[in-house]
């Protein structure tokens, strides 16, 4: 099941500060989430903590958010270890059952030598003499003070400002070499951009193409005198 970070923060804020870690761990593991669900929760908590910690303004509310998010990160890592241990135990049990089903376990037990007989000295047991204890004085119960109910403290994740998307450079203009015709060339007037049409360009104009354009310009101008 998917884990809701806001719900976990609410449960942690309502608990006593000394029991926050236990409360968060219980809130994470109660629904028996998958390892992937816990990974997603941890990544979200780390991201929110980084965004909140990067804000310049610091107040009591933001410090509460940092404390709760840090507790969630720590508890989520602990939950990851717990889930991994449970997976290892389940695998060991399945391997044992597979060995029993295939007969490998029975064969291994037959090859195990029988234990040696116990020593006679161990068979003789000496009964201990019971010691007479003096009656303990009755303890006078001390009055128990009523535990104060902690005041719920809630932090709203929507208060964290999301990072603005990074602006990407404009890719609309073409870079590279630009050739300008010095005189009228077939297909080009003097002065404008002397590059081939966009549909015929695959990359930057090559030097050979520029030399061909120059030779064509010389032929169109006629022989020099």
In order along its 225 residues, the chain shows pLDDT tens digits of 689 999 999 999 999 999 999 999 999 999 899 999 999 999 999 999 999 999 988 899 999 999 999 999 999 999 999 999 999 999 999 999 999 898 876 666 666 555 555 555 565 655 666 666 666 666 666 665 555 566 778 899 998 887 655 556 555 555 555 555 555 556 655 555 555 555 455 555 555 555 565 565 555 555 554
Give the C-alpha separation, 87 to 74, whole Å: 20
Q: For residues 88 and 79, what is the distance between their CA atoms, to the nearest angstrom?
A: 14
At residue 139, the pLDDT reads 64
In a domain, residue 39? The reply is yes
- Residue 55: inside a domain, yes or no? yes
Please check whether residue 31 lies inside any domain of the structure: yes
Q: Say yes or no: 92 and 4 in one domain.
A: yes
Domain that residue 89 falls in: 1-107
In the chain, the N- to C-terminal Cα span, in Å, equals: 89
Rg of the chain over Cα atoms, rounded to whole angstroms, equals 40
Domain count, the chain: 2
Q: Does residue 179 lie within any of the structural domains?
A: yes
Name the β-bridge partners of 122. Answer: none
Distance CA 45, CA 70 (A): 8
Q: What is the pTM of this model?
A: 0.54
Domain boundary (107, 129, 160) is at: 107
Boundary-marking domain end, from 87, 107, 127? 107
* Within-domain flag for 72: yes
Which residues, at least 6 apart from 63, have a Cβ–Cβ distance to it below 8 Å?
none
Same domain membership, residue 82 and residue 3: yes
| pLDDT of 96 | 92
Assigned domain for 12 exists: yes
Is residue 161 included in any domain, yes or no?
no
The single-letter DSSP state of residue 193 is B
Q: In residues, how long is the chain?
A: 225
Q: Is residue 122 included in any domain, yes or no?
A: no
Residue that terminates a domain, selected from 91, 107, 123: 107
One domain for residues 180 and 103: no
């Amino acid at each position: 099941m998917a884990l809701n970070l806001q719900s976990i923060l609410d449960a942690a804020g309502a608990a006593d500060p000394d029991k926050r870690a236990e409360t968060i761990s219980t809130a994470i593991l109660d629904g028996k989430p998958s390892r992937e669900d816990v990974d997603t929760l941890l990544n979200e908590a780390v991201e929110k903590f980084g965004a909140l910690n990067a804000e310049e303004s610091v107040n009591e509310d933001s410090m509460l958010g940092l404390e709760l998010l840090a507790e969630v990160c720590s508890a989520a890592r602990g939950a990851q270890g717990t889930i991994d241990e449970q997976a290892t135990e389940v695998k060991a049990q399945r391997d044992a059952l597979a060995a029993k089903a295939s007969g490998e376990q029975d064969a291994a037990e037959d090859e195990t030598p029988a234990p040696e007989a116990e020593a006679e000295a161990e068979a003789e047991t000496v009964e201990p003499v019971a010691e007479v204890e003096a009656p303990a004085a009755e303890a006078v119960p001390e009055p128990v003070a009523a535990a104060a109910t902690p005041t719920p403290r809630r932090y709203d994740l929507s208060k964290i400002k999301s990072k603005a998307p990074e602006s990407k450079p404009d890719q609309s203009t073409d870079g590279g070499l630009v050739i300008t015709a010095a005189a009228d060339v077939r297909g080009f007037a003097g002065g404008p951009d002397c590059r081939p049409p966009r549909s015929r360009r695959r990359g930057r104009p090559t030097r050979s193409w520029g030399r061909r354009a120059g030779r064509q310009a010389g032929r169109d101008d006629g022989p020099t005198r």
